[in-house]
């Protein structure tokens, strides 16, 4: 008598059978493609540590978005490289800020493409931290509550520019409630918030800080981002953001935190996203360039792992390449 397992193996023998019994399927509709917008015109500046990713001027970003929409990708998320930085993050909330200008131009050209706005201050602060800083000697402290007003202002200015989903990534306490109240008070009660709820203080953000020119000038982000060993604390952070009014949540980074994704999926019945961050992208690109791994295979395997763990929305620099493969 043949063991049933033999038939299970047969089920995996051809692509059509494998496809039939597949438990997890990727779709471009679940991808979000990050864009880094810089001043100027006609600019496509390669980012050294992220081969294939560029700083784009608004006009180039619009072209990119036409391509993204044609590939059936779910949406984009905008990061800004402002003309000037200061200690009040003026560029983050200015009505003619770089992200606000990009959003208006993209909405005009590709009205149906979903636009997320990353709400954070690090790209706009001269010191590169995600909130207001008070320094005394070598010591510095992040001012949580005073930062909330700036974050809320930023969110409202993004909504005004046509951004569809507000995605705060700063990790200040209480920012979801502050942003929700400000949006509601400005006529944007229908604009959802996707909270970077479980965002870990990670070494995997290295290349992003080159891409967004947002490395802290001193210190690090460990006082406001989460400690990598803590899963239960991550659940608590998510719970608090949901209580404050988050509509969707995110775990970030992705591949090193699949257990956090899985646990969040089990506990919370809201749309769950995961961010496959710059360092995850860079590792795969670098190893592939050396001929050490098969790029497409590892790209798809990592994306499927993130979805299998429970994320239905994946923010990824591979969005276009993966969408092309999924055809
Ligand atoms: C802003 C922000 C960061 C990322 C997204 N939003 C950097 C950070 O927290 O240092 C990282 C994304 C990536 O690495 O791809 N705070």
252 noted as active-site residue: yes
Test site for ligand 1: of 36, 55, 169, 207, most ligand atoms within 8 A of the Cβ:
169
Residue 136: the pLDDT is 83
Cβ(130) – ligand 1 distance below 6 Å: yes
Distance from C-alpha of 315 to C-alpha of 75, rounded to nearest angstrom: 9
- Residue 11 pLDDT > 80: no
The atom of ligand 1 lying closest to the CA of 130 is 16
Is 195 within 8 Å of 264 (Cβ atoms)? no
Residues 235-275: tens digit of each pLDDT: 999 999 999 999 999 999 999 999 999 999 999 999 999 99
Is 284 inside a domain boundary? Answer: yes
Cβ(118) – ligand 1 distance below 6 Å: yes
Beta bridge partners of 252: 199
Test site for ligand 1: of 32, 55, 78, 120, most ligand atoms within 8 A of the Cβ:
120
- Residue 3 pLDDT > 90: no
Is 221 within 8 Å of 201 (Cβ atoms)? yes
The CATH number of whichever domain residue 321 belongs to comes to 3.20.20.70
- Region 7-16: mean pLDDT is 81
Neighbours of 157 (CB within 10 A): 22
Cβ(156) – ligand 1 distance below 6 Å: no
Q: What is the mean pLDDT of the chain?
A: 95
Distance from C-alpha of 130 to C-alpha of 117, rounded to nearest angstrom: 15
CA atoms in the 13 A half-sphere facing the CB of 305: 15
Is 263 within 8 Å of 231 (Cβ atoms)? yes
- Region 199-210: mean pLDDT is 94
Q: Atom 11 (ligand 1): residue with closest C-alpha?
A: 205
The single residue of 85, 107, 153, 199 carrying the catalytic annotation is 199
Residue 221: the pLDDT is 85
Residues 285-305: tens digit of each pLDDT: 999 999 999 999 999 999 999
The atom of ligand 1 lying closest to the CA of 281 is 15
Residues 174-202: tens digit of each pLDDT: 999 999 999 999 999 999 999 999 999 99
Test site for ligand 1: of 49, 166, 205, most ligand atoms within 8 A of the Cβ:
205
**Confidence bin at 223 (pLDDT 50/70/90):** confident
Is 206 inside a domain boundary? Answer: yes
- Region 133-156: mean pLDDT is 92
Cβ(316) – ligand 1 distance below 6 Å: no
Q: Atom 8 (ligand 1): residue with closest C-alpha?
A: 205
Residues 72-81: tens digit of each pLDDT: 999 999 999 9
Neighbours of 44 (CB within 10 A): 13
Residue 186: the pLDDT is 98
- Residue 213 pLDDT > 90: no
Residue 12: the pLDDT is 79
Residue 55: the pLDDT is 97
Is 165 inside a domain boundary? Answer: yes
Segment (H or E) for 250: strand 248-252
Check residue 193 and report its DSSP letter: B
Domain that holds residue 250: 26-326
Is 95 inside a domain boundary? Answer: yes
Q: Atom 14 (ligand 1): residue with closest C-alpha?
A: 205
Is 252 inside a domain boundary? Answer: yes
Residue 135: the pLDDT is 85
Nearest to 197 by CA among 257, 108, 285: 257
Is 2 inside a domain boundary? Answer: no
Neighbours of 133 (CB within 10 A): 21
Is 11 inside a domain boundary? Answer: no
- Region 126-150: mean pLDDT is 90
**Confidence bin at 214 (pLDDT 50/70/90):** confident
- Region 216-240: mean pLDDT is 93
DSSP secondary structure string for all residues of 85-145: -BSS-HHHH-TT-HHHHHHHHHHHH-TTSEEEEEE-STTTBTT--SSEEEEETTEEEEEHH
Residue 1: the pLDDT is 58
Check residue 294 and report its DSSP letter: -
- Residue 7 pLDDT > 80: no
Cβ(205) – ligand 1 distance below 6 Å: yes
Cβ(78) – ligand 1 distance below 6 Å: no
Is 3 inside a domain boundary? Answer: no
Cβ(122) – ligand 1 distance below 6 Å: yes
Residue 219: the pLDDT is 87
Cβ(202) – ligand 1 distance below 6 Å: no
Give residue 191 CA to ligand 1 midpoint distance, Å.
22
Q: Atom 12 (ligand 1): residue with closest C-alpha?
A: 277
Report residue 26: phi and psi, to 5°: -85, 150
Cβ(208) – ligand 1 distance below 6 Å: yes
Distance from C-alpha of 120 to C-alpha of 252, rounded to nearest angstrom: 15
Domain count, the chain: 1
63 noted as active-site residue: no
Give residue 68 CA to ligand 1 midpoint distance, Å.
21
- Residue 2 pLDDT > 80: no
Residues 6 or more apart whose CB falls under 8 angstroms from that of 78 comprise: 35, 37, 99, 102, 103, 115, 116, 117, 118, 163
């Amino acid at each position: 008598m043949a063991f049933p397992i033999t038939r299970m193996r047969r089920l995996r023998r051809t692509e059509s059978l494998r496809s039939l019994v597949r438990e997890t399927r990727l779709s471009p509709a679940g991808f979000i493609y990050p864009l880094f917008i810089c001043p100027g015109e006609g600019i496509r500046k390669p980012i050294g540590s992220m081969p294939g990713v560029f700083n784009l001027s608004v006009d180039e970003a619009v072209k990119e978005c036409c391509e993204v929409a044609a590939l059936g990708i779910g949406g984009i998320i905008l990061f800004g490289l402002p003309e000037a930085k200061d200690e009040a993050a003026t560029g983050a909330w200015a009505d003619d800020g770089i992200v606000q200008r990009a959003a208006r131009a993209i909405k005009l050209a590709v009205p149906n493409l979903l636009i997320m706005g990353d709400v954070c201050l690090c790209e706009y602060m001269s010191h590169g931290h995600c909130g207001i800083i008070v320094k005394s000697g070598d010591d510095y402290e992040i001012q949580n509550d005073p930062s909330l007003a700036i974050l809320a202002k930023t969110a409202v200015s993004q909504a005004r520019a046509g951004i569809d989903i507000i995605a705060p990534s700063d990790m200040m306490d209480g920012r979801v409630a502050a942003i929700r109240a400000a949006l509601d008070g400005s006529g944007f009660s229908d604009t959802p918030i996707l909270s970077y709820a479980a965002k870990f203080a990670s070494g995997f953000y290295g290349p992003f800080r080159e891409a967004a020119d947002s490395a802290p000038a001193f210190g690090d982000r460990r006082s406001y981002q989460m400690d990598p060993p803590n899963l239960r604390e991550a659940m608590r952070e998510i719970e608090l953001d949901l209580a404050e009014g988050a509509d969707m949540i995110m775990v970030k980074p992705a591949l090193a935190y699949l257990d956090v994704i899985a646990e969040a999926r089990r506990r919370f019945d809201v749309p769950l996203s995961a961010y496959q961050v710059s360092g995850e992208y860079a590792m795969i690109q670098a190893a592939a360039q050396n001929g050490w791994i098969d790029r497409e295979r590892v790209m798809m395997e990592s994306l499927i792992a993130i979805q299998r763990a429970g994320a239905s929305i994946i923010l990824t620099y591979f969005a276009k390449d993966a969408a092309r493969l999924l055809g």
